[in-house]
Structure 1
């Protein structure tokens, strides 16, 4: 993997990245970057992400080159300025909620952010059996505050229209709509890629009009509901954790949309973690115990969210019930698209049997979404808990 990353990052690209970082050495966070001869560059995990650091010191930043798509399976980060603006907005609303942006260079489409080198990707941490309740609850609070303070019920119709203009993300939204709600539910779509086991169960999707109707309902809500500024792709790979802290990253899919989308995607990815450990080939009671800890954190996440997300457009109880209903539908779509579409998750690399159980969870959530009004019911239906 490191070899392919190095291959994609030509010396010309590396030189260009270093020059742009040096150009911004007047910023307080980059005063160490004035002399390009003292800088070194490393691959940062994919071929458009780099770590630029001062040789022989701990000073470093992460640089994302947004000019070219790096993975045709997912929307690429083609709007560096929007991601920069979103990270600033998130940190302003909920200080410490997101990675801090350093600069955005419009000409080169380069985004520079702080280097969270001591943090781990949340997905990796969960797969490895590490979960800190405080970090998970901080994430729930941060998301709730961002939603609350940009919610149409708090800022008004005129302000939400202005926010919608500021965070226009039409190209990415079109791609996301295709990936989440259209391609996985279209038989024979050429972008779909799934295991033989999942392929043998595709009649659960294509042979069930209830599932297809529910997916169409969720697509309409995704495209039409202008409720608050949301992250738009809040899965466990878009979060970094360290001890009791969590930070949101990868904000290039943000837009003014339904609050339930962020929660639905997050819960879907917790469900992946649950099955990853429950059906782990290593027959170890610790995995089963951890799986049930994940169920508990889902319940706590939604409870914590509602403690802080108090901007509602109707009776609080009715609003919360509707949000959880939508959340169930979005979770179902996310589960299905990760199993049927091209953007798979690492949780099932060594537990392929779990894919069928997860697919069943996604189907059940979609079929029942409009009857699900509590997180307890959502988890009960998704996981068939006793």
Structure 2
């Protein structure tokens, strides 16, 4: 395909054009001859188009390429979103890679004119959510993930780099459009009766009075929104769920850093634990092979405890007494976990854990409500899991 034949209005055309433009890079020399480059769409991203590109003679020599359309992919063109978010994702991925090598796929380039980002292809990795749903959990991979998140938080934390540096980092990672979207979908729309973006099952719809009829829940969601918007603590991923993590054996890598910003460390941990809770209910309430699935569900509870313990071993940048700081972080974590659980059940971005265990949605919704109602009284991961899962 000659350059002039590549339509700049065609997404795959933009991908090919960007690859050829950057074929001087060692990883992309094969893209010089664009006629031999193959591009196929992969992934199920909520925001972006994701492709795998490779030379036709060597499919194993592939890269992943992302394109940011000017709207939210999972909601459609009626929900616009700035295309510049791709540049911020590249910057965040580059930063994470420099702080904690191996924590993310290696970034290769970002082309600002074409809104195209290129990175290492994790060919033999699987999406963490899919692995957990299928009943596979490697403790070493989970602990490596906890360490990587801790190191990124530690080395960008205001307690380590200082007030002036955190203000500069905040300017560097200004993410207004995506932050506004996240605020809306995580803290506002799910708690607003009749919001047009909400999409939930009939079973969940029948229990929405748990949200809208409880002022304590609504006040807690408002508290978490304020912390999300106002607490400038460290550079965080901002959307750390099990669909944004890839695993292979004992390794884990964080992907989809387009929501990164300077915010509360508790956000990343809260979102991650919420998604482990989805896994717990997915297996606990599945009638098929329930004995083994229940065993796996309790393994997930244990990995939550281990995740927080491992995180605190490495996240040593604190602004006050260590025990007080950790207690506050876990309290916020519980609140963010509650919001994440509720928005996944009420909002548009549902999770695969409940595709075949719809009854588990109600139990999960209850967990989200309990965490929000009790978040300011939760100061340990053990208490968080007891309240979320009613394990006592």
Partners of 2:263 and 2:290 in 1: how far apart? Answer: 42
Report whether the alignment pairs 1:117 with 2:119: no
SS of the residue corresponding to residue 256 of structure 2 reads coil
How does 1:89-168 map onto structure 2 within 5 Å? 89-168=95-174
RMSD over equivalenced CA pairs, Å:
1.6
73-82 vs 295-304, greater mean Cα deviation? 73-82
Q: Which residue of 1 aligns with 2:353?
A: 347
TM-score by length of 1: 0.95
Residue of 2, 13, 16 corresponding to 2:14: 16
275-284 vs 176-185, greater mean Cα deviation? 275-284
Residue of 50, 60, 63 corresponding to 1:61: 63
| Deviations 1:330-383 (CA, angstroms, capped at 9, x unpaired) | 000000000111111110000000000000000000000000000000000000
Q: Which residue of 2 aligns with 1:6?
A: none
Q: Which residue of 2 aligns with 1:71?
A: 74
Q: Which residue of 2 aligns with 1:25?
A: 23
How does 1:1-386 map onto structure 2 within 5 Å? 12-46=10-44, 48-57=49-58, 58-69=60-71, 70-72=73-75, 78=83, 79-386=85-392
Partners of 2:10 and 2:112 in 1: how far apart? Answer: 19
Give the aligned length: 378
**Structure 1 residues 11, 185: closer, same or farther in 2, change over 3 A?**
closer
SS of the residue corresponding to residue 10 of structure 2 reads helix
Contact kept? 1:91, 1:100, Cα under 8 Å:
yes
| Deviations 1:279-305 (CA, angstroms, capped at 9, x unpaired) | 013143111111000000000000000
**Structure 1 residues 154, 165: closer, same or farther in 2, change over 3 A?**
same
TM-score by length of 2: 0.94
Partners of 2:115 and 2:321 in 1: how far apart? Answer: 44
Q: Report the alpha carbon displacement of residue 314 of structure 1 after superposing the two structures with TM.
A: 0.4
Q: Report the alpha carbon displacement of residue 43 of structure 1 after superposing the two structures with TM.
A: 1.4
Q: Report the alpha carbon displacement of residue 29 of structure 1 after superposing the two structures with TM.
A: 1.1
